Amino acid sequence: MKKTLFFILSLIFIYPQSMLASIISVTPENSVVQPGELFSVDIIGQEFSDSTDGGGINVQYDSNIIQVESFSFDPLWEFFSDAGTIDNIGGAILNIGFATFINTPPEDFVIGTLLFRAGETLGDTSISLTESLAVGGFSVGGVKQTVDFSAGQVAVIPLPASAMLLLSGLSFFGLSFRRN
């Protein structure tokens, strides 16, 4: 009984935090946009147990629904930053790479911001993230770090016709009230 209790306590208190997986995700997780609208999402790092030196990611999306306009890095990544290759035909940004000498704090941090334009095609798409093997994985002190990836979701929907009708009616009343 004492050995079991000791084992459980040692797992709770001694288990190294570096063994826990960190998360790279998109925020906001869910976006609803109009056709032709520009919108942005941040790629963030969460639950890193120690400062990360950098890493590499790929981004995938449905290019029939959204298109990437640009990717910009947070100034934190001062040593190396490569925005990768934007492929709006295939729906991907490949080999985004970044590194720092300053080292990020162990709390949440921003990697960069993606600027998208919604297409005229209505529908839903995910913004999926994967590790870029060409750039190399995430590392802490030169040691590879285990990272989980969390996707975001985007819905492109038109402005409802009833809302347009309401706006035109209010405009008409506003103009007629102003004339009187």
The phi and psi torsions of 58 (rounded to 5 degrees) equal -120, 150
Full residue range of the structural domain in which residue 119 is found: 21-179
* 154, pLDDT greater than 70: yes
Asked if the structure places residue 6 within a domain, the reply is no
Residue 143: per-residue pLDDT: 82
- Across 75-79, 83-87, 175-179, least confident range: 175-179
* 174, pLDDT greater than 70: no
pLDDT in tens, 93-132: 999 999 888 766 667 889 999 999 999 999 999 999 999 9
Q: What one-letter code names the amino acid at 143?
A: V
Asked if the structure places residue 8 within a domain, the reply is no
**pLDDT mean over 30-46:** 95
CA angle 78-83-89, nearest 5°? 175
Asked if the structure places residue 173 within a domain, the reply is yes
Asked if the structure places residue 15 within a domain, the reply is no
Residue 10: per-residue pLDDT: 43
Asked if the structure places residue 167 within a domain, the reply is yes
Residues in the chain: 180
Q: How far is the C-alpha of 58 from the C-alpha of 35, rounded, in Å? A: 25
Residue 16: per-residue pLDDT: 44
Contact (Cβ atoms closer than 8 angstroms) between residue 121 and residue 65: yes
Residue 166: per-residue pLDDT: 62
Query: What is Dmax (Cα atoms) for the chain?
Result: 89
Q: What one-letter code names the amino acid at 134?
A: A
Whole-model pTM: value is: 0.76
Asked if the structure places residue 104 within a domain, the reply is yes
Q: CA nearest 156: which of 115, 117, 130?
A: 117
Domain count, the chain: 1
Show the tokens assigned to 104. Answer: 């990020």
Asked if the structure places residue 172 within a domain, the reply is yes
Q: CATH code at 71?
A: 2.60.40.680
Q: CA nearest 109: which of 14, 44, 159?
A: 44
Asked if the structure places residue 148 within a domain, the reply is yes
pLDDT in tens, 43-67: 999 988 777 888 999 999 999 999 9
